[in-house]
Amino acid sequence: MSQPSVLAALLAGVQGGSIEVVDLTSPLSSTTPVIQLPPQFGQTQVFELEEISRYDDRGPAWYWNNFRSGEHTGTHFDAPVHWVTGKDLADVASVPVDRLIAPAVVLDFSEHAAKDPDFLVEVDHIKAWEADNGPLPQGGWLLLRTGWDARSQSQEAFLNADENGPHTPGLSAECARWVAEESPVLGLGTETVGTDAGRAHSFDPAFPCHSYLLGADKYGLTQLQNLGSLPPTGAVVIAGPLPIVSGSGSPARVLALVEGS
């Protein structure tokens, strides 16, 4: 008798509950927080729906909408071309599809961020985590849990800005360089509005996660939800950005597969 295929076993696991599907995506609406740059720069678009018809004279049997959105609004995927250091690398439509399904680890710094919204992850933090949990996954995601998804219903709380700029947790410049150049991961995922810490505008280089990771042909996932539902190791992430030709990124549906206990 032939053995069940790998795909059949996967489907049976999902349907039977031995594999849990966790949605890591923030719902996309007009209230979804967006990054705010200094006024001299161009600004991203808040998500908007424009009704085309809703079972009426414009279309008696159907409901549909146009939508307008920035590429980097809500839960989204950063392609290398998003940053000047990756300007000659892949747009979001050119990211190899086999890189959109990858193992993931979750490093939980939520207690640190609760005490200090400007908390920065250093290389030593990651190496200490590796000593307890094993190496970062080859070709996988490093997901940074900070508890920031609890703020995602409020633009003000999510950006957490004052006269000195936003205050949100992230990686130090040296840690960003290490993740980009020395770690085996393919990208960084965060719960905050972008992959960089709020204070990263004043780092050297400015916005080092964008500068180093995208310049190293790696990726970013941001505004993730529910990382607290994932184990430190063992999850598989499926990231689904729209393949926008020449796009620097895209809103994405991001799912995680987790083995049941």
82 is catalytic: yes
Task: Give the active site residue among 72, 76, 82, 210.
Answer: 82
pLDDT at 228: 97
pLDDT at 2: 63
Rounded CA gap, 255 and 21, in Å? 7
pLDDT at 194: 97
Residue 215: HSE in the Cβ half-sphere, 13 Å Cα cutoff: 15
pLDDT at 159: 97
Q: Categorise residue 74: left if φ over 0, alpha if ψ from -120 to 50, beta otherwise.
A: left
Rounded CA gap, 52 and 139, in Å? 42
Q: How many CB atoms lie within 10 A of CB 93?
A: 14
Residue ranges of the chain with pLDDT lower than 50? none
pTM score of the predicted model: 0.95
Query: Is the separation of the CB atoms in 170 and 198 below 8 Å?
Result: yes
* φ and ψ of 156, to 5 deg: -65, -50
pLDDT at 260: 83
